Structure 1
């Protein structure tokens, strides 16, 4: 189906989710946690001895005690490390360098094979703005060249998807009305339902093996859905 046949006005820009849309996030996080543990073992051995479960427990505790930080994954992770250090009787000031080890490893993503060729095609025709609830750094990852409109993160803005204010801020940054923007993401609730509610058009990336984790009790009606970005580029006519 041709995009212009569905809507009277053409797509003028694209907002694009990152985690699980461009790369699988959980293998990345698991690797980053292992590198964090190795650093703690060398610099804060009592904290390392608590194990990964303790760090996850502290992260859950930080999220429960500070719901106002829900949009700020960096702060939650830092608070979890600080809490674990305190529990082990070690210097809480080690939280900052420990987090930097985790954060550097968090940027070592393994992009899906379709990402680079598809972004190259799409970026030739439309400005792309990364719109993410996570804390990926496109410059450190090496993808920034395709995001001519930059990156907007929940941590920077103060709320994240599916809040309509976040999508409205993305449209404002692009200087476009919502109906001229296509949001692309993998999560039915955060990306598709959220963007639909804010008036954007939507493309739902449903990668094999990830669909179950991103399902929605009442699946929204996306403008398009498919398995990868190459299929999206074909649909867009890029």
Structure 2
């Protein structure tokens, strides 16, 4: 399939890098820090209890569904308060966690593929997560990063897709959204009027009959190959 694309919006977690090992490592580093600086909290809230509390706070605060940063900070404040440690430690504790959260290990194809994509079209990161592309070192490849926390609504809400398109000064149909999540990225992108590309690294089966992605690849490198071919076709037609 070939169609005109003038820009790409790109999901990050589980699209450019796997998120599970990042979070496991970040939580472990946070736990080690708490054991040194807030031992009462570390003892009362080991990693599993910390995760359970974060989930509980997320359930209690649906108004923060788009804001993982505030959810994490509230979790740390609650842990410290309940354990009798200094609540002022919440900020340095979060800083330690967030630094580790931004130490990602890319999928093998990602960096080279992103460079190829950025050489062809403007790229914009569109994420529900709170990864920082400046800290990660990929920001030079992107026009901008738009997160759910900054926007105020998360994917699959159409408004975050449309906000990205507005910043790109393009109509939704001119933008290709690329991501791994079936509902948040693909169904959300289609409903917002964007073209979509499903990065299906695990070769899952598509579950819907009423909507499908325009493209489906197992890696970003395959998307870059498709874009190179589409570009050559467009150039030849011109």
The TM-score with structure 1 as length reference comes to 0.92
Distance across 2 between alignment mates of 1:189 and 1:107:
25
Q: Secondary structure at the match of 2:59?
A: helix
Q: What aligned pairs does 1:22-41 form with structure 2 within 5 A after superposition?
A: 22-41=16-35
Q: Sort the Cα spacing of 1:218 and 1:42 in 2 relative to 1 into closer, same or farther, 3 A.
A: farther
Selected match of 1:145 from 140, 144, 153: 140
Cross-structure match for 1:225: 216
Match of 1:206 among 189, 200, 206: 200
* Matched position secondary structure for 1:124: helix
Structure 2 unaligned runs (5+)? Answer: 232-238
Report the Cα distance in structure 1 between the residues aligned to 2:112 and 2:74, rounded to whole angstroms: 38
TM-superposition CA deviations, 1:143-164 (whole Å, max 9, x none): 11111x2100000000010000
Of 2, 7, 16 in structure 2, the residue corresponding to residue 13 of structure 1 is 7
DSSP-derived class of the 1:203 partner: strand
For 1:67 and 1:61, the matched residues in 2 are separated by 11
Contact 1:58 1:81 in 2 (8 A): no
Distance in 1, Cα, partners of 2:55 & 2:49: 10
Q: Report the 3-state secondary structure (helix = DSSP H, G, I; strand = E; otherwise coil) of the residue aligned with 2:8.
A: strand
Following superposition, the deviation at residue 89 of structure 1 comes to 1.5
User: Mean Cα displacement is larger for which, 36-45 or 116-125?
Assistant: 116-125
Report SS of the residue matched to 2:193: coil
What stretches of structure 1 of length at least 5 have no aligned partner?
5-9
What residue in structure 1 maps to residue 52 of structure 2? 57
d(CA) in 1 for partners of 2:113, 2:59? 39
Q: Distance in 2 between matches of 1:97 and 1:62?
A: 20
- 1:116 equivalent in structure 2: 111
- Greater mean alpha carbon deviation, residues 35-44 or residues 90-99: 90-99
Equivalent pairs counted in the alignment come to 228
Match of 2:71 among 76, 94, 101: 76
Q: Verify the 8 A CA contact 1:201 1:222 in the aligned structure 2.
A: yes
Gap change, CA 1:216 and 1:166, over 3 Å in 2: farther
The separation in 2 between residues aligned to 1:188 and 1:159, in whole angstroms, is 18
| Structure 1: 4+ residue segments shifted above 6 A | none
> CA RMSD, aligned part only?
1.5
Matches within 5 A, 1:82-101: 82-101=77-96
The whole-number CA distance in structure 2 between the counterparts of 1:207 and 1:221 is: 17
Which residue is equivalent to 1:132? 127
User: 1:208 Cα shift?
Assistant: 2.3
Cα distance in 2 for partners of 1:227, 1:29 equals 23
